[in-house]
Chain A
């Protein structure tokens, strides 16, 4: 069983839709949770990060962490075609230490 599970999709939505991306994990020592966005033929770039449980909002993006359920989510409001990318969840036990990634979810936002 993988340490971090993420539905690979693909996920296709119309422009303006609310998108929900999710990951589950098994390692209760994870404390730092991140979402990366990867455009085609590019390296991943950090989109959101949170420490421990709770919510964090940044513009159209909201990250949620529920450590009791070992479940994290990324919500994208008013999705745009420019949001079309692969979204990877990642987590670590300590800041700056090795990250464990989910497989990534491929998202397409159709105009």
Chain B
């Protein structure tokens, strides 16, 4: 019954490595989002996408990029991992504006990334 799947629950990477976080949803949602969650800061939006091959910067895009080649898959890329990117990363998806009966996001279980 899993609807939003994140490829890894726990990940440990070295400083400077290129890191890929994968997210797949099976609900045919147009919208997909990447957040990071940190104590004291809550959830902060990194990037989002309203359609295939479309991406928009969120509030904290620096040091990250994204890829959306297929509707169901949204990848977050850390170009050169740094210790301040140690965090819980959450992927979410939702229907767009026209679907008034479908509010809110469906989240994945998260990837806890540690950069050493």
Q: Which residues of A contact B74 (CB under 8 A)?
A: none
Task: Check A103–B97 contact: CB distance below 8 A.
Answer: no
Chain A residue contacts of B96, Cβ below 8 A: 96
Looking at chain A, what size class is its interface with the partner chain? 20 to 34
**Interface majority SS (helix, strand, loop, mixed), chain B:** loop
Given A96-B95, A97-B97: A44 in contact with B107 (beta carbons within 8 A): yes
**In the complex, which of the residues A45, A49, A98 contacts B107, with contact meaning CB atoms closer than 8 Å?**
A45
Number of interface residues of B (CB under 8 A): 30
Least CB separation from B106: chain A residue: A46
Identify the stretch in B13-21, B36-44, B64-72 within 8 Å (CB) of chain A at 4 or more residues. B36-44
B residues bordering A, Cβ < 8 Å? 4, 30-31, 33, 35, 40-43, 45, 48, 58, 90, 92, 94-100, 102-110
**A residues neighboring B (CB under 8 Å):** 6, 8, 32, 34, 36, 41-46, 49, 51, 88, 90, 94-104
